[in-house]
A and B are shown apart, each in its own frame.
Chain A
Amino acid sequence: QKEVEQNSGPLSVPEGAIASLNCTYSDRGSQSFFWYRQYSGKSPELIMSIYSNGDKEDGRFTAQLNKASQYVSLLIRDSQPSDSATYLCAVTGGNEKLTFGTGTRLTIIP
């Protein structure tokens, strides 16, 4: 079983709609959770970090964490074509190393 799992997609969302990206993790000792965005041919850049249960909002982005269900999600409101990218979920486990999911490719359709 993979430590961090994401739907590989591709996920297509109309411009202006809400994009919902999901991630589950297997290590109950995980304490820190990150969403990175990676454009084709570029390196990952941090979008959101979340450490406690609940929602965290930053502009059009909302991260949601549910440690009991071992689930973390990212919502993108008012999706823009520039949001088209691969989104990587990353988790820091008990051994402190960052483990990434394989990513979800998101396409925003104008």
Chain B
Amino acid sequence: KAGVTQTPRYLIKTRGQQVTLSCSPISGHRSVSWYQQTPGQGLQFLFEYFSETQRNKGNFPGRFSGRQFSNSRSEMNVSTLELGDSALYLCASSWGGGQQETQYFGPGTRLLVL
């Protein structure tokens, strides 16, 4: 079974631009979560989508948004990019998003904001 895939793998943007990242979960998985990883803050939860609905949200500003499609693929968007948005963005999928379910991570998208 193919793992979680993320595109693009690397991205360079300038301040003020917006960016859209894509995540395709493992086949059959309906829950997709997004995380931001930085050296200073570590892995921080952004949001989780299940059946096209945002089910949980972390403490990030409204510039960070996401959506999920009927095939469970998910996108996240960051508008008005700031230098501090430079990070590794990881998506993780699980079957139903339950507390005891393992989340499987994709390879991540490394975003650099100049």
Complex alpha-carbon distance, A46 and B58, angstroms: 22
B102 & A98 in contact (Cβ 8 Å cutoff): no
Cβ < 8 Å to B, chain A residues 13-39 = 31-32, 34
B80 within 8 A of A: no
Candidates A43, A92, A103; contact of B106 at CB < 8 Å: A43
Complex alpha-carbon distance, A100 and B105, angstroms: 14
Which residues on the B side are within 8 Å of A102 (C-beta)? 41-42
A100 & B56 in contact (Cβ 8 Å cutoff): no
Complex alpha-carbon distance, A32 and B94, angstroms: 15
A58 within 8 A of B: no
Which residues on the A side are within 8 Å of B107 (C-beta)? 42-43
B48 within 8 A of A: yes
A32 & B100 in contact (Cβ 8 Å cutoff): yes
| Given A43-B107, A45-B105, also A100-B99 (CB < 8 A) | no
A62 within 8 A of B: no
Which residues on the A side are within 8 Å of B48 (C-beta)? 97
Candidates B33, B43, B44; contact of A88 at CB < 8 Å: B43
- Interface residue range, chain B: 20 to 34
- Interface residue range, chain A: 20 to 34
Q: Which residue of A lies closest to B94 (CB)?
A: A98
Complex alpha-carbon distance, A24 and B16, angstroms: 39
Candidates A31, A45, A97; contact of B56 at CB < 8 Å: A97
A97 & B102 in contact (Cβ 8 Å cutoff): no
| Given A96-B97, A102-B42, also A43-B102 (CB < 8 A) | no
| Given A32-B100, A49-B100, A100-B43, also A95-B56 (CB < 8 A) | yes
B102 & A46 in contact (Cβ 8 Å cutoff): yes
Question: In whole Å, how far is B63's beta carbon from the nearest beta carbon of chain A?
Answer: 20
Question: In whole Å, how far is A24's beta carbon from the nearest beta carbon of chain B?
Answer: 15
Q: Which residues of B contact A (CB under 8 A)?
A: 33, 35, 41-45, 48, 55-56, 58, 90, 97-100, 102-108
Q: Which residues of A contact B (CB under 8 A)?
A: 31-32, 34, 42-46, 49, 51, 88, 90, 92, 95-103
Q: A46-B102, A96-B98, A97-B48 are known contacts; what are 12 more A-B pairs with Cβ within 8 Å?
A: A32-B100, A43-B107, A44-B90, A44-B105, A46-B103, A49-B102, A95-B56, A96-B97, A97-B45, A98-B45, A100-B45, A101-B42
